[in-house]
Amino acid sequence: MLHRRGGEGGLTLIEVLVVVLIAGILMAITVPRLFAARRRVTEANLRRELYTLRAAIERFQGDTGLYPQALEDLLLATPPPYVQRDSWSGPYLQTLPQDPITHRRDWNYDPSTGTVRSQAVGVTMEGIPYSQL
């Protein structure tokens, strides 16, 4: 135990600086890892939402022989005018998923090919553009 002159308890300036330095080092190590973990989760959610959309588009196309003219057609309880009623098994989705990167439901959808992609700008942690997933 350290004895201080004057009988007062407390920390010296050196002890406070050591504690602050250790806390700074720990934060420098953990904060970037937390941000990286959050980004990995967001990118995994994007891939999951794209999988959900693509699976619904494939079911729609498999049933009707056509791609939906709009993603909102996947939500319909009755077939859109361009689809024969006897081939309809919808709705194919309960809700249109939100892009976890843009936080909007503004997917880039091509009805001629059934291709759906994110409109987010940027790249994944692996360097793949979000728009190419």
Residue 61: the pLDDT is: 95
pLDDT average, residue stretch 27-33: 81
Residue 29: the pLDDT is: 83
Neighbours of 16 (CB within 10 A): 11
The model's pLDDT over 79-113, given as tens digits with 9 standing for 90+, comes to: 999 998 888 998 999 999 999 999 999 999 999 99
SS3 label, residue 7: helix
Closest among 99, 124, 123, 121 to 109, alpha carbons compared: 99
pLDDT average, residue stretch 28-51: 88
pLDDT average, residue stretch 55-61: 96
Which of 19-23, 39-43, 53-57 bottoms out in mean pLDDT, i.e. has the lowest? Answer: 19-23
Check whether 18 has a pLDDT greater than 60: yes
Which contiguous run of DSSP H or E holds residue 15?
helix 13-64
Q: Which residue has the higher pLDDT, 71 or 1?
A: 71
Does this model's pTM top 0.85? My answer is: no
Q: What residues contact residue 21 under an 8 Å CB cut-off, 6+ apart?
A: none
Per 3-state DSSP, the chain is made up of helix, strand and coil in percentages (nearest 5) of: 50, 5, 45
| Average pLDDT value over all residues in the chain | 89
